[in-house]
Amino acid sequence: MLVLALDTATARITAGVVELGPDGPPVTLAARDGVGARAHAELLAPAVRDALAEAGRTRRELDAVVVGLGPGPFTGLRVGLVTAAAMGDALGIPVHGVGTHDAMAAGLPGRILVVTDARRREVYWSLVVDGVRTHGPEVVAPAVLAERLEADLGPVDRVVGDAAHQLGAGGEVPGPTPSGLVAVAAAALRAGTPPAPLSPLYLRRPDAIPPGAPKTVTRA
């Protein structure tokens, strides 16, 4: 099965062509990984094109699309979701959404704390234990997360993500890999399970809101 994997939930733009067999881990045939926190729309389409070209495949050969659902900032995250949905509709193939934090922790044993940049001096975080998310995702200030670790979450084996430095950690795995994204959806893909609707994990209301009703102006 040939799968296109996309994610725009972090500052990194991930696109890759992945082969998923009847068993065993997904194998990445080609990947593109760019950085541009405010350039997702400009970078994603070329990344998809280049990954397909490197893999020697065409869009018509794809069997499915897997896309990261976040958490992530509104504008960047929706670029990946809209692109995945449009490709799935145009090609008549299923589009599976997976948690971006789940994909970042895929294949990592133990207690993995995933921390990504939420801007506004906050972070998104999840705790994944042996591949199963047990807490999150949530959005909080780094100091609040540090208090949670001390109070009730307990020690972790690794901290990954592009905001790990805000907790004084190293920050391995700055973003999801194509194989990690597909690994999270592998069981559903192999079983032919119909995908659920794409429900982005914004965790915040958008900055832009519709204007309110015009104010009534009276004359004295």
pLDDT score for 210: 56
Rg of the chain over CA atoms, in angstroms? 19
pLDDT score for 34: 80
Task: Report, as ranges of residue numbers, the positions in the chain whose pLDDT lies below 70.
Answer: 36-37, 171, 205-220
Q: How many CB atoms lie within 10 A of CB 122?
A: 19
Q: Where are the strands (E) in the chain, listed by range?
A: 2-7, 12-19, 27-35, 64-68, 95-98, 111-119, 122-129, 132-140, 158-160
pTM comes to 0.90
Delineate the domains of the chain, giving CATH numbers in brackets. 2-99+175-191 (3.30.420.40), 103-167 (3.30.420.200)
Tell me the residue type at 30: A
Rounded to whole angstroms, how far apart are CA atoms 95 and 189?
10
pLDDT score for 70: 97
pLDDT score for 95: 98
pLDDT score for 204: 74
pLDDT score for 168: 86
Query: Nearest 10 degrees: CA dihedral of 57, 63, 71, 111?
Result: -90
pLDDT score for 169: 82
